[in-house]
């Protein structure tokens, strides 16, 4: 006879992702002659659920190496950038409860696409990109069918559990 049980478990109940292109204006102390390099480093972020969205608050540093005084000297200017992104949740389990645990991960670290000197030649414009994915974990129900029949001890003699366990995917969260 088959019976059913409802199991309450934690599961990903909503997820979303956001790709952002941004432009930052950096004002160096000297009029730039040319740009020699641009790096974005020290990315930090936190994420929390806010209504039906995930809010990501983050910061990073833009480092621009440039020449000045008619290409006779070089300097590096460092500018801290703060941002706030809202990630819409595309998949959502409407029956989930307690979905306030948020897991956010960076798909594309902030990086410089292009750095250029502004039209008037006083500023440096940095074009950057980043991408973040977020998931909400909450309680949900799983319905499981089972039978009341109990196998006898003889039924387990030829059963190799190790062979069954070889087929279980232990890389569920993408970690080795």
d(CA 136, CA 104): 9
Q: What is the pLDDT of residue 37?
A: 97
Q: Which residue has the higher pLDDT, 146 or 8?
A: 8
Residue 103 scores a pLDDT above 90: yes
d(CA 26, CA 152): 75
* Segment 20-68, tens digit of pLDDT: 999 999 999 999 999 999 999 999 999 999 888 999 999 999 999 999 9
d(CA 129, CA 127): 7
- What is the average per-residue pLDDT within 79-102? 86
Parse the chain into domains and list their residue ranges: 2-147
Q: Specify the DSSP element, H or E, that contains 165.
A: helix 161-165
- What is the average per-residue pLDDT within 103-108? 96
For residue 158 the two structure tokens come to: 């030829």
Beta bridge partners of 12: 137
d(CA 129, CA 52): 24
The length of the chain in residues reads 176
């Amino acid at each position: 006879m088959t019976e059913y049980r409802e199991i309450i478990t934690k599961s990903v109940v909503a997820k979303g992702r956001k790709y952002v292109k941004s432009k930052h204006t950096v004002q160096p102390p000297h009029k730039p002659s040319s740009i020699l390099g641009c790096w974005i480093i020290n990315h930090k972020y936190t994420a929390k659920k806010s209504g039906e969205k995930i809010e990501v608050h983050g910061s990073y540093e833009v480092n621009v190496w440039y020449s000045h005084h008619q290409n006779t000297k070089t300097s590096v200017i460092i500018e801290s950038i703060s941002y706030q992104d809202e990630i819409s949740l595309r998949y959502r389990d409407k029956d989930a409860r307690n979905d306030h645990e948020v897991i956010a991960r960076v798909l594309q670290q902030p990086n410089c696409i292009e750095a250029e000197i502004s039209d008037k030649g006083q500023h440096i414009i940095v074009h950057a990109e980043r991408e973040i994915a977020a998931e909400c974990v909450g309680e949900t129900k799983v319905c499981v069918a089972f039978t009341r029949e109990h196998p006898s001890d003889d039924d387990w003699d030829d059963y190799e559990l190790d062979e069954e366990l070889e087929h279980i995917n232990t890389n569920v969260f993408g970690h080795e």
